[in-house]
Amino acid sequence: MNTVPVNRRFVSANRRVREDRRFVTGRGRYVADVVLANALHVALVPAQYPAARIVSIDATAALAMPGVHYVLTGEELAAATEPLMNGLDTPKVQRYPLAVGQVRYAGEWVVAVAADTRALAEDAAEKVRVVYEPLPFVIDPEEAFRPGSPAVHSAHGSNVLLDKTFVWGDVDKHFAEAPRTLSFRVTWGRSSTVPIETFGVVASWDPWREILDVWASIQMPKYPEQIARSMRIPANQVRVDQDVDVGGAYGVKRGIKHTILVAHLSRRLGRPVRLIEDRLENMRAGDAQGPERIFDVDIAFNDEGIIKSMKMRALDNAGAYAGRAPFQLGKPIGAIVGPYRIESVKYVAQSVTTNKAAEEAVKGFGQSPTNYAIESAIEKVAQATGLDRVEVRRRNFIRKEEFPYLIPSGTRYDSGDYHTVVDKVLAVVDYPALLKERDRLRASGLLAGIGLAACLEPSGGNSAFEPLLNEKNKTSTWMESCRINVDGTGCITTTIHTLSSGQGHETLVATVIGEVLEINPDLIRVVRPDSLACLPSNAPVGSRMAIMLGGAAFHAAQKLKAKLVTIAAHQFGVSEDTLSYSGGGVSHGVSGKRFDWADLVNIAHRNFHLLPQGMEPGLETTHVMQVPTGTKLPENGRVQMYPCHSFEFHVVLLTIDPLLGKPEIRRYVIGHDCGTVINPHIVKGMTLGGIAHGIGAALFEEFVYDEQGQMTTQSLMDYLLPSSHEVPKVEIVHHCTPSPHTVFGQKGAGESGYMGAPAAMSGAINDAVAPLGISFAKLPIRVSAIGDAVAAAQVSNEKKI
Amino acid sequence: MMVKLRVNGQTHTADVEPRKSLLDTLREDFRLTGAHAGCEHGVCGACTVLLDGDAVRSCLIFAVQADGYDITTIEGLAPAPGELSVIQDAFCETHGLQCGYCTPGMILSAHTLLQRTLTPSREDILEAISGNICRCTGYGQIVEAVEIAAERLRQSNALHAAPEAVK
């Protein structure tokens, strides 16, 4: 399908990102900048207990305050709306924007106050008196999994949302015959991607036009549909403004509960209503917290370090409600063996409710935690066999000539050349020299380690995990669209049908259309119709837009080009295959005659008498694109998950001061292969930003709950984000293995860096402390944990001597 | 109470509650929305503005405290409508941003640095932007942007705002 010659003018060129101009001047349009006349502001009353029955709510004092207009309870909201959507078939695990009858985590929203200003709403929220009767609660996922643990949703009967075992291949036989096996546990702490912009939404119901207008900081597929369903209104009464800039999303900007809350208030009060979370609301009860996961892994391998089979149990702490979070156990099934030739896999996917805030989607949708578990396995096999860690990876890698490669769980990897990427990276870092440098640092009295990680970024997101984990769900369609309109003056305007949160989609679409039509992309206007004027879209999730939006734009442009050629052929009275398109015009090779862009536009717009019979006037084309390879529902627990698979290989050298326990990254190199790069600046930024996220997840970031079920990380002084001091300079080594499934050979890069950075950081720290006979099996690995463990090991080693 | 604030060379007045932050006043009363609320407790730096040339958190000071200072927001940096300052242009050149939410604060912090020195070391740049958290970029292209901007300002004919000695 690589239909465009490799000689490209705009694709892969170092062109500027067009969105940047508005952002560097402070002219982005974020949801908080949307100011409607007469709007009310919302503040929330949070639950004080991790589990409690709501005995009574007294809002008299709050309502008596000047400027306070309404106090909304969960009872009222639940009566007026449908529960929020669950991904799994768990109808008794119901979720509404406000707690109904019972609170299920500390910080859960119990009451919403609407007032003239946010400050007044906050003042009034403090005056609302809620009487609770505390109930037993459970925080730990293993305890929650046990029968008899306090059920977060008693109507559901237990805390188990999902307990599904997949066996792909002859796992028992492979384990029985394996010369060696090993088992281990690693834990991924409850971290997230924490955008600097919190979630916000403004809603305005117009009862005469019968339309709900919504402005939101959203990154979620099917958002208008979900609003309509919960609000019990037809979907064509919901109009989401997509021309709103999102201040970072990385998976978590889901906000459906906020939206239903303000939409109901607006309908109830007849005024626009806005809710812009403050940081505390966001961290405690916004859609902010990501996966928390325990992996129990068994590996069957031999003395040569060849891994034959793997058993993986992943226990996910979904928090208090189900939502979409458990699907994050499903997506990694599409790359469950990573870049390795593991022949059989047993995968036990378990998700439980606990009395923590609900887990939401995060960048990678479960893949980065899974990659951490897989890479931990590789490290342990290397340790057990005494083989070099790179060598173990090389021996197990799928080879270039084996693609397309079918993994046991049913996904066919599109393409890759893992050995070459690793060779290139090791040449850049001079691996033997790097080992020497580590040893020199060790000799100087520091702890020093090298971290390695090789992993995949599945991309081109579909939702194949939905029917895989929920048999009632028969969704296989997962499309993206683009429309191109050339006006009567010849100017091109094109559309995208989703909001963006920094991915440069306007640049992507203009670049692709410019490439196909051979027209300067800077001349192409890109707009975002509101959701009612939109073509089908599934939002920028699953690392899909280069593939899907880029693909839709490409095909729409090809259709436009074809129409121009048809118009020209009709004028020349020749067949289309004697004509060639170049630079916006169409030429007849034999006669040397040519129609330029302006001529063809003029005919299309003004000379109906010159158009071929049956052709529609004007110059407009549309393409709705289905995910490549997305042709089937799952069969026998196997499915083709995402179509494309980018590869990354990380090498980190770090030191730890044994007295302080503080890691310092000395060198960070990543080899990255995402096929054809459409905009190098954007891909570079994604990769560097992903690594920063990964360093955060590995060293700093965790939503911590104490034994009383209270979240103790309630500000950015407790939940630490990497600053410019913590993120090192990163060197990127490029490689390009085009995907056979995409128009330019592109693959996804939106989650790059984050896929392997946590595993690489963990590997580096564990290599650094290995001489002390200790290791870390839980992320994040905090400075305090390192300091304590190193000190304890030194004391214990001295005693042994 | 009435405040009279000098912002980007213009005098604005507003009737604000004493508890209203400078950030909220800039955004709500003057419609200068380039400064953003991120954490509202002084960690993230998205609300950064300049007070007499120094980068400060506008979420941590009250509007009434800002009376008498010369306030610069991101809206005050571009020389003319449609144009970009050298630093803004450098951020576009390296793509030193993605979602743009931290960007105004980041650029103002970089601006302050380059007002003080046009020969910043890499460490100087890291230090200058360390109070501005970016979740998109991992800072790499931001540092490159500041380096490029410093080089261009060094080579420009325009009078430098402050002599090297001030550093």
ipTM over 0.90: yes
The pLDDT value given to residue A2? 43
Give the domain-ending residue among B76, B106, B135: B76
Q: How far is A772 from chain B (nearest CA, A)?
A: 32
Q: How many other CB atoms are found less than 10 A from the CB of residue A578? A: 13
* Residue B72 sits at the chain A interface (C-beta within 8 Å): no
Q: Based on the fold, state whether residues B26 and B61 are members of the same structural domain.
A: yes
* Contact list, A686 vs chain B (CB under 8 Å): 98
Q: Which residues contact B142 (CB under 8 A, 6 or more apart)?
A: A724, B91, B94, B96, B97, B106, B110, B129, B134
Residue B166: inside a domain:
no
- Which pLDDT tens digit goes with each residue over B31-76? 999 999 999 999 999 999 999 999 999 999 999 999 999 999 999 9
Q: Based on the fold, state whether residues B47 and B99 are members of the same structural domain.
A: no
Q: Based on the fold, state whether residues B92 and B119 are members of the same structural domain.
A: yes
H or E stretch at A166: strand A160-168
Predicted TM-score (pTM) of this structure? 0.97
Structural domains in chain B (count): 2
Nearest CA in chain A to B32: A26
* Residue A756 sits at the chain B interface (C-beta within 8 Å): no
pLDDT band per the 50, 70, 90 thresholds, residue B165: very low
pLDDT band per the 50, 70, 90 thresholds, residue A558: very high
Q: How far is A382 from chain B (nearest CA, A)?
A: 31
The pLDDT value given to residue A799? 81
Q: Based on the fold, state whether residues B49 and B69 are members of the same structural domain.
A: yes
* Residue B35 sits at the chain A interface (C-beta within 8 Å): yes
pLDDT band per the 50, 70, 90 thresholds, residue A7: confident
Return d(Cα B45, Cα B145) in angstroms, integer: 18
Reading the block at residue A619, the tokens are 């110059």
What percentage of chain A exceeds 70 in pLDDT? Answer: 99
Residue B161: inside a domain:
no
Q: Based on the fold, state whether residues B91 and B72 are members of the same structural domain.
A: no
The pLDDT value given to residue A441? 98
- Which pLDDT tens digit goes with each residue over A100-138? 999 999 999 999 999 999 999 999 999 999 999 999 999
Return d(Cα A272, Cα A309) in angstroms, integer: 57
Residue B20: inside a domain:
yes
Domain containing B49 equals: 2-76
Residue B113: inside a domain:
yes
pLDDT exceeds 80 at position A235? yes
Q: Based on the fold, state whether residues B91 and B137 are members of the same structural domain.
A: yes
Return d(Cα B67, Cα B89) in angstroms, integer: 31
Mutate to test the interface with B, among A14, A19, A25, A682 (most CBs of B within 10 A): A25
- Which pLDDT tens digit goes with each residue over A386-404? 999 999 999 999 999 999 9
Q: How far is B34 from chain A (nearest CA, A)?
A: 4
Return mean pLDDT, chain A.
Answer: 97
Q: Residues in chain B, how many?
A: 167
The pLDDT value given to residue B166? 39
Closest CB from A26, A248, A716 relative to B136? A248
pLDDT exceeds 80 at position B163? no
Q: Based on the fold, state whether residues B69 and B113 are members of the same structural domain.
A: no
Mutate to test the interface with B, among A29, A116, A196 (most CBs of B within 10 A): A196
Reading the block at residue A477, the tokens are 């369609």
What 3-state DSSP class applies to A407? coil
The pLDDT value given to residue A801? 64
A310 pairs with which residues across the strands? A299, A345
Q: Based on the fold, state whether residues B142 and B96 are members of the same structural domain.
A: yes
- Which pLDDT tens digit goes with each residue over A628-676? 999 999 999 999 999 999 999 999 999 999 999 999 999 999 999 999 9
What percentage of chain A exceeds 90 in pLDDT? Answer: 97
Q: Based on the fold, state whether residues B12 and B64 are members of the same structural domain.
A: yes
Which is it for strands A211-216 and A200-206: parallel, antiparallel or unpaired?
Answer: antiparallel
- Which pLDDT tens digit goes with each residue over A585-633? 999 988 999 999 999 999 999 999 999 999 999 999 999 999 999 999 9
> Is A23 in contact with B44 (Cβ distance < 8 A)?
no
Residue B151: inside a domain:
yes
- CATH code of the domain containing B19: 3.10.20.30
- CATH code of the domain containing B102: 1.10.150.120
What distances in angstroms separate CA B39 from CA A259, A321, A477, A541, B133, one per listed residue?
A: 21, 26, 39, 25, 10
Mutate to test the interface with B, among A116, A691, A724 (most CBs of B within 10 A): A724
pLDDT band per the 50, 70, 90 thresholds, residue B157: confident
- Which pLDDT tens digit goes with each residue over A306-363? 999 999 999 999 999 998 989 999 999 999 999 999 999 999 999 999 999 999 999 9
Residue B29: inside a domain:
yes
* Residue B110 sits at the chain A interface (C-beta within 8 Å): no
What distances in angstroms separate CA B74 from CA A396, B8, B77, B79, B131, one per listed residue?
A: 52, 9, 6, 11, 17
What percentage of chain B exceeds 70 in pLDDT? Answer: 94
Backbone angles phi and psi of A254, in degrees to 5: -100, -45
**Mean pLDDT across A516-520:** 98
CB contacts < 8 A (A, B) = 185
* Residue A14 sits at the chain B interface (C-beta within 8 Å): no
Q: Can you say how many angstroms the Cα of residue A687 is from the centroid of all Cα atoms in its chain?
A: 13
Q: Which residues contact A79 (CB under 8 A, 6 or more apart)?
A: none
What 3-state DSSP class applies to A736? coil
> Is A33 in contact with B33 (Cβ distance < 8 A)?
yes
pLDDT exceeds 60 at position A497? yes
Closest CB from B39, B44, B91 relative to A20? B91
* Contact list, B63 vs chain A (CB under 8 Å): none
Percentages helix, strand, coil for chain A (3-state, rounded to 5) are 35, 25, 40
What distances in angstroms separate CA A403 from CA A576, A627, A728, B106, one per listed residue?
A: 37, 20, 35, 44
Return d(Cα A161, Cα A352) in angstroms, integer: 5
* Contact list, B74 vs chain A (CB under 8 Å): 25-26
Residue B165: inside a domain:
no
> Is A25 in contact with B41 (Cβ distance < 8 A)?
no
* Contact list, A688 vs chain B (CB under 8 Å): 137-141
- Name which of A693, A647, A654 is nearest A670 in CA terms: A647
* Contact list, B17 vs chain A (CB under 8 Å): 119
* Residue A684 sits at the chain B interface (C-beta within 8 Å): yes
* Residue B19 sits at the chain A interface (C-beta within 8 Å): yes
pLDDT exceeds 90 at position B158? no
Q: Based on the fold, state whether residues B11 and B68 are members of the same structural domain.
A: yes
> Is A23 in contact with B97 (Cβ distance < 8 A)?
yes
**Mean pLDDT across A687-701:** 98
Closest CB from A22, A689, A717 relative to B137? A689
Closest CB from A193, A247, A685 relative to B95? A685
Q: How far is A6 from chain B (nearest CA, A)?
A: 25
Q: Based on the fold, state whether residues B70 and B40 are members of the same structural domain.
A: yes
* Contact list, B105 vs chain A (CB under 8 Å): none
pLDDT band per the 50, 70, 90 thresholds, residue A798: confident
The pLDDT value given to residue A386? 98
The pLDDT value given to residue B160? 58
* Contact list, B103 vs chain A (CB under 8 Å): 23-24, 26
pLDDT exceeds 50 at position A4? no
Residue B106: inside a domain:
yes
Give the domain-ending residue among B36, B53, B76: B76
Q: Based on the fold, state whether residues B52 and B104 are members of the same structural domain.
A: no
**Mean pLDDT across A450-468:** 96
Give the domain-ending residue among B76, B94, B123: B76
**Mean pLDDT across B91-118:** 98
> Is B139 in contact with A19 (Cβ distance < 8 A)?
no
pLDDT exceeds 90 at position A267? yes
CB contact at 8 A, A617 and A607: no
